[in-house]
Amino acid sequence: MNKFIWILIIAIVVIVGAWFAYGRSGQPTASEIATTTPEAAAPVASTPQTVTVTYTDQGFSPATVNVAVGDTVRFVNQSTGDMWVGADEHPTHTSYDGTATRDHCADGANTNGSFDQCTRTAPGTAWSYTFTKAGSFDYHNHARASAGGTVVVQ
Amino acid sequence: MRVPLHELLLRLAVAFSFVYPPIAAVADPDSWIGYFPAFIPASIELLHVFGALEIALALWIVFGRRIFIPSALAALLLLAIVVVNGAQFDVLFRDVSIALAALALAWLHLPKREAL
């Protein structure tokens, strides 16, 4: 009995440790948060900007981007696998506007403007999305749910 | 084999979490393939092979006699899924509960206990 409990405790400690070390790698650290605020200092409305996020086998970089309403984020797949950018949570992608993938995706195309690529694309491709409302939007790669990031729209 | 009701419920609880994904993956593989860790070259075929193993594991847990091994494997598998997909913990936190249920089954069927 005692042996089993000790094994259980050790296993839990190892798992929690591994989770913090590896599993939460999709979360940005302070140094990873980009300072890409192209319109932060603009006192009047300026032209929309495009911010690029690169997806590699290590995940999305920068993990967090700050943009303004109307700006476009371009996700470039430089990994060795497929990319399907979609709002959290996996796999329903409901956090952006409350609609699920089955509601806003049809035949690989987005039908209501939700933050969802709706199809997987091969390495070397890119996908752009223009944010039309403010908020902090977590996203992930639907083809590899452990990789994710955040777009902060102000 | 006569299994007490409380253990049967425990077995079904753990087994269900291994039966549903492979069935759902037939209709919507994209929603499940993303849980593979990055170091595994995931494919639809691999997903279905893994699904077949999950169903075998579930059947072993429900109908098997000495189920320490499948129960322990189930717990490890669930916890591994949580660890490699930590960013999706808001969804996967339930797997921790199911893994603990699987550990309870493993404990009930610990080889030394069954030999007594």
Mean pLDDT of A17-27: 53
Integer Cα distance of B22 and A15 in angstroms:
25
**A86 beta partners:** A116, A140
Q: Is B85 an 8 Å CB contact of chain A? A: yes
Return d(Cα A149, Cα A61) in angstroms, integer: 8
Using CA atoms, how far apart are residues A98 and A92, in angstroms rounded to an integer? 10
Across the interface, whether the CB atoms of A146 and B85 are under 8 A apart is answered yes
Model pLDDT for residues A66-95, shown as the tens digit of each residue:
999 999 999 999 999 999 999 999 999 999
- The two tokens of residue B95 are 């797997």
Is residue A131 assigned to a domain?
yes
Contact flag B34-A142 (C-beta cutoff 8 Å): yes
**Residue contact B31–A4, C-beta within 8 A:** no
Contact between A90 and B88 using a beta-carbon 8 Å cutoff: yes
Confidence band, pLDDT 50/70/90 cuts, at residue B23: very high
Least confident of A9-13, A144-148, B24-28: A9-13
Please report the pLDDT score of residue B112 as a whole number. Answer: 78
Q: Is the pLDDT of residue A35 over 60?
A: no
Of A57, A89, A141, the CB nearest to B90: A89
Judge: A144–B30 Cβ closer than 8 Å, yes or no: no
C-alpha dihedral, B19 to B22 to B23 to B24, nearest 10°: 120
Instruction: Judge: A146–B110 Cβ closer than 8 Å, yes or no.
Output: no
Number of domains in chain B: 1
- Closest by CA to B85, choosing from A93, A23, A21, A138, is A23
pLDDT of residue B47: 97
Nearest Cα of chain B lies from the Cα of A102 at a distance, in angstroms, of 10
Q: Is residue A101 part of a domain?
A: yes
Report the residue of chain B nearest A15, measured CA to CA.
B83
A53: tokens are: 């996020």
Residue B33 touches partner A, C-beta closer than 8 Å: yes
The answer to the question of residue A7 being in a domain is no
Residue A46: pLDDT above 50? yes
In a domain, A17, yes or no: no
Q: Is the pLDDT of residue B68 over 50?
A: yes
| HEC profile of A35-93 | CCCCCCCCCCCCCCCEEEEEEECCEEECCEEEECCCCEEEEEECCCCCECEEECCCCCC
Phi, then psi, of A20 in degrees rounded to 5 = -70, -35
Q: What is the mean pLDDT of residues A99-122?
A: 94
The answer to whether the Cβ–Cβ distance between A19 and B30 falls below 8 Å is no
| Contact yes or no for A145 and B34 at CB 8 A | yes
Task: Tell whether A4 is covered by a domain.
Answer: no
Write the CATH number for A83. Answer: 2.60.40.420
Evaluate whether residue A105 is within a structural domain.
yes
> What is the Cα–Cα distance from B44 to B97, expressed in whole angstroms?
28
Whether the complex's predicted ipTM is more than 0.90 is answered with no
Is B87 touching A (CB cutoff 8 A)?
A: yes
Note whether B111 contacts A: Cβ–Cβ < 8 A.
no
The number of distinct structural domains making up chain A is: 1
Q: Please say if the pLDDT value at position A12 is more than 90.
A: no
Domain that holds residue B42: 5-115
Q: Which domain holds residue A77?
A: 28-153
Per-residue tokens: A107: 């035949």
- Asked, for residue A18, whether it belongs to a domain, the answer is no
Candidate from A32-41, A73-82, A98-107, B92-101 with smallest mean pLDDT: A32-41
CA distance A150 to chain B (A): 12
Tell me if chain A has a CB within 8 Å of the CB of B38.
Answer: yes
pTM across the whole model: 0.77
Q: Please report which helix (H) or strand (E) contains residue B75, including its range.
A: helix B68-84
Q: What is the mean pLDDT of residues A7-28?
A: 60
